[in-house]
Amino acid sequence: MKTDDKTRRPLGPIVSAAHLARGAMPALSEMEFALIMADNAFSRWMIRCAEAAGAPGLTPLEVLVLHSVTHRDRQKTLADICLVLNVEDTHLVSYAIKKLEKNGLVSSGKRGKEKTVGITPRGQEICERYGEIREQLLIDALKAFGLDQGPVSELADFLRALSGQYDQAARAAAAL
Render pLDDT for 97-150 as a digit per residue (tens, 0 to 9): 999 999 999 999 999 999 999 999 999 999 999 999 999 999 999 999 888 899
First to last CA, the chain: 35
Rounded CA separation 66/106 (Å) = 7
Q: Phi, psi (5° rounding) for residue 2?
A: -75, 150
Average pLDDT over residues 10-28: 88
User: Exposure pattern of 118-136 as b/e (b: 16+ CB <10 Å)?
Assistant: bbbeebbebbebbeebbee
pLDDT at residue 3 above 60?
no
Alpha-carbon span 73 to 87, nearest angstrom: 21
Q: What is the pLDDT of residue 4?
A: 56
Sheet of 76-77: strand order equals 76-77, 114-119, 106-111
Average pLDDT score over residue span 62-68: 98
- Would the pTM count as exceeding 0.95? no
The mean-pLDDT minimum among 11-15, 38-42, 53-57, 149-153 falls in 11-15
Domains of the chain (ranges, CATH numbers)? 26-145 (1.10.10.10)
Chain-centroid distance, C-alpha 23: 28
Give dist(CA 119, CA 101) in Å, integer.
9
Nearest to 121 by CA among 132, 105, 110: 105
Q: Residue 7 has what pLDDT?
A: 66
Residue 12 has what pLDDT? 74
- Judged against a pLDDT cut of 60, whether residue 68 lies above it is answered with yes
Instruction: Please give the mean pLDDT across all residues of the chain.
Output: 94
* pLDDT confidence of residue 13: 82
**pLDDT for position 6:** 65
At 125, which amino acid appears? E
Minimal CA–CA distance to 77: which of 124, 109, 103?
109
CB 62 within 8 A of CB 103: no
| Three-class DSSP category at 109 | strand
